[in-house]
């Protein structure tokens, strides 16, 4: 790996190098969510207001938090999946600007992430890759070909718990959503936002007797290609597995 590239990234994304952003130029902002094939399979998720989870003490949850890499064979229910998606990317409102107000913070409410999901064991959902449509609280099918779990696991450097999880969350960024407002500095903010999302997943998982494990070790090119991302305007930033505790 090229030496000092990290230092160069920090230096060149300082405010003094920002220049005029596309927002300041009054260029139109990018869409709040990626479009999808209208002929694709859509899955309605259970309404979050109808989902009950156990009451837990926040301090105990934070103090007991740890990464879990071994899971029971028990599947997640549709309700549990719906709850986790709502906690990590759920849209509470769309403002007149427009921006989305969600259950996690994001720089300037840009919310550049799209959530892809490797479904291994979720009741009523065929195994495969899906994308979460946060505004409508639905899933759209991406790839349900046999062997997709093995391919995603391979792209994650053969970390076996990826395919042994009930579901693996894969967060990609549509980087122009962030760059439109912040220019090159937006690359910093995307990685900060990833931490916000994943921490919510860790905490929410404990209220449904699950555990999570964040993953930053993956082959960028291979995983982007699997999902159908170009690796430049859209690319994977972070992953996390989730499954029932043994």
DSSP string, 158-202: T-THHHHSSEEEEEEEEHHHHHHHHGGGHHHHHHHHHHHHHHHHH
Kindly report, residue by residue over 213-245, the tens digit of the pLDDT.
999 999 999 999 999 999 999 999 999 999 999
Homologous superfamily (CATH) for 40-244:
NADH Oxidase (3.40.109.10)
The residues with which 19 forms a beta bridge, in sequence order, are none
Give the sign of the dihedral formed by CA 230, CA 101, CA 31, CA 89. positive
Q: Are 152 and 226 in contact (CB under 8 A)?
A: yes
Domain residues of the chain, as ranges?
40-244
Kindly report, residue by residue over 66-115, the tens digit of the pLDDT.
999 999 999 999 999 999 999 999 999 999 999 999 999 999 999 999 99
Q: Which residue has the tokens 């969600």?
A: 102
Q: Are 120 and 127 in contact (CB under 8 A)?
A: yes
Asked if residue 1 has pLDDT above 80, the reply is no
Kindly report, residue by residue over 150-160, the tens digit of the pLDDT.
999 999 999 99
Q: Are 141 and 43 in contact (CB under 8 A)?
A: yes
| pTM, 2 dp | 0.96
Residues sharing a CB contact under 8 Å with residue 12, sequence separation 6 or more, in sequence order: 184
How many CB atoms are located within 10 Å of the residue 217 CB?
A: 8
């Amino acid at each position: 790996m090229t030496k000092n590239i990290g230092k160069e990234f920090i230096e060149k994304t300082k405010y003094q190098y920002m220049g005029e952003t596309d927002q300041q130029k009054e260029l139109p902002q990018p869409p709040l969510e990626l479009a999808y094939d209208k002929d694709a399979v859509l899955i309605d998720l259970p309404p979050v207001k109808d989902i009950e989870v156990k009451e837990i003490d926040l301090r105990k949850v934070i103090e007991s938090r740890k990464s879990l890499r071994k899971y029971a064979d028990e599947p997640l229910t549709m309700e549990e999946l719906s709850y986790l998606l709502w906690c990590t990317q759920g849209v509470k409102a769309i403002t007149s600007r427009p921006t989305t107000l969600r259950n996690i913070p994001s720089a300037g409410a840009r919310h550049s992430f799209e959530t892809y999901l490797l479904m291994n064991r979720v009741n009523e959902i065929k195994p495969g890759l899906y994308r979460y449509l946060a505004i409508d609280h639905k899933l759209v099918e991406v790839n349900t070909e046999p062997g997709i779990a093995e391919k995603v696991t391979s792209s994650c450097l053969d970390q076996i718990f990826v395919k042994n999880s009930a579901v693996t969350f894969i967060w990609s960024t549509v980087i122009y959503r962030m760059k439109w407002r912040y220019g090159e500095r937006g690359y910093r903010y995307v990685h900060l936002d990833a931490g916000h999302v994943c921490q919510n997943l860790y905490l929410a998982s404990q209220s449904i007797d699950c555990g999570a494990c964040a993953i930053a070790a993956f082959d960028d090119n291979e995983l982007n290609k699997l999902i159908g991302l170009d690796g430049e305007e859209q690319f994977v930033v972070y992953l996390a597995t989730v499954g029932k505790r043994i």
